[in-house]
Amino acid sequence: MNEIQAVFADLSKALSSQVLGQPQLIERLLIALLADGHLLVEGAPGLAKTRAIQKLGEQLQGSFHRVQFTPDLLPADLTGTDIFRPQDSSFVFQQGPLFHNLILADEINRAPAKVQSALLEAMSERQITIGQTTYPLDDPFLVMATQNPIEQEGTYPLPEAQLDRFLMHVVVDYPQVEVERQILQLARDEAKAGRQTEPANNSLLSVDQLRTARSEVLDLYLADNLEEYLLQLVLATRQPQPYGEDLVGWIQYGASPRASIALDRCSRARAWLSGRDYVSPEDIQALAFDVMRHRVLLTYEAEAEGINVDRLVNELIAGVPVP
């Protein structure tokens, strides 16, 4: 483990001490940071989704901003807008919340299509266009969007084109009872200390260290046979016939090439976080669910039978030969 990997290990420990019972969410956040992608997180309220990225923002040398998405939100509320100055009859651009390093898009499916499309350009192109002027966004730039699976009234389902822009779709669940007991104690301790006592400028990770880590992740060794295995897993969502005739009736649309790119980047990041200099089949299999969960469209018949994408990925992992 080199110096930069040790920094990320300390960062993971720091987050784990503040965000209890969600080790997978913490790992996926760090993977997204290393893979330079965005996260879609789905879970019931109160499962530390907001807290996780807030605490990451405190440890990263950069800025954090939370946006609560509502049906009356406008694109300018995200991107910013030109403000007229009567003093000299000129327009000055006032930056919106997207001009931060870490963005929490809370309940993204409550925003209308125009707002979602404005966020889409920022996520995909790392830039914002206002009128005839294009403004580049800061680096790093990570969007963590949340969805509440309980309430569907007054929501706007995200189109597949936008879902495909997310690196991973992570599902978080309730913690175990012992962990929840620790959460109670942590909440009491924080209430006694007072939130205002949290130290400022206590970042563990600098932007330069993050760039170095990303470069090391891209240079990580991936064997040719494992690369072929990765490609065959993604290809199996488009051509599932060799792995079972029943799978053919489950899939309406398979995963796009973005799934291959995401699985490659995420597997390298997971291996790097584990202190290894090579990717293993376990890295690919562990991340296949989060990478494909939002990229594979099932048929109506499959959904009516209670089949979800996670079950499909399980079948494909069992069927595609591991090198």
Query: Where does 20-196 sit in CATH, by number?
Result: 3.40.50.300
What the block records as the tokens of 61 is: 């040398």
Q: Where in the chain is the domain with CATH 3.40.50.300?
A: 20-196
- Full-model pTM: 0.91
Tens-of-pLDDT digits for all 323 residues of the chain?
Answer: 788 999 999 999 999 999 999 999 999 999 999 999 999 999 888 888 889 998 998 898 888 999 999 889 999 999 998 888 888 888 888 899 999 999 999 988 888 888 888 888 888 889 988 878 889 998 899 999 998 777 666 567 787 777 888 999 999 999 999 999 999 999 998 888 875 545 455 678 999 999 999 999 999 999 999 999 999 999 999 999 998 888 999 999 999 999 999 999 999 999 999 999 999 999 999 999 999 999 999 999 999 999 999 999 999 999 999 98
pLDDT of residue 193: 83
Give the whole-angstrom CA distance, residue 186 versus residue 189.
5
- Residue 156's Cα: distance from chain center in Å? 19
Give the whole-angstrom CA distance, residue 211 versus residue 219.
13
pLDDT of residue 198: 52
Give the whole-angstrom CA distance, residue 166 versus residue 24.
17
220-233 in b/e form (b: 16+ CB < 10 A) is: bebeeebbebbebb
The answer to whether the beta carbons of residues 144 and 102 sit under 8 Å apart is: yes
The answer to whether the beta carbons of residues 44 and 206 sit under 8 Å apart is: no
pLDDT of residue 202: 66
3-state SS of the chain? CCHHHHHHHHHHHHHHHHCCCCHHHHHHHHHHHHHCCCEEEECCCCCCHHHHHHHHHHHECCCEEEEECCCCCCCHHHHEEEEEECCCCEEEEEECCCCCCEEEEECHHHCCHHHHHHHHHHHHHCEEEECCEEEECCCCCEEEEEECCCCCCCCCCCCHHHHCCCCEEEECCCCCHHHHHHHHHHHHHHHHHCHHHCCCCCCCECHHHHHHHHHHHHCCECCHHHHHHHHHHHHHCCCCHHHCHHHHCCEEECCCHHHHHHHHHHHHHHHHHCCCCECCHHHHHHHHHHHHCCCCEECHHHHHCCCCHHHHHHHHHHHCCCC
pLDDT of residue 33: 95
Q: Where in the chain is the domain with CATH 1.10.8.80?
A: 220-319
Regarding beta strands 102-106 and 127-130, do their DSSP bridges make them parallel or antiparallel, or are they unpaired? unpaired
pLDDT of residue 153: 61
Whether the bond between 159 and the residue before it is cis, its omega within 30 degrees of 0, is no
CATH class belonging to 220-319: mainly alpha
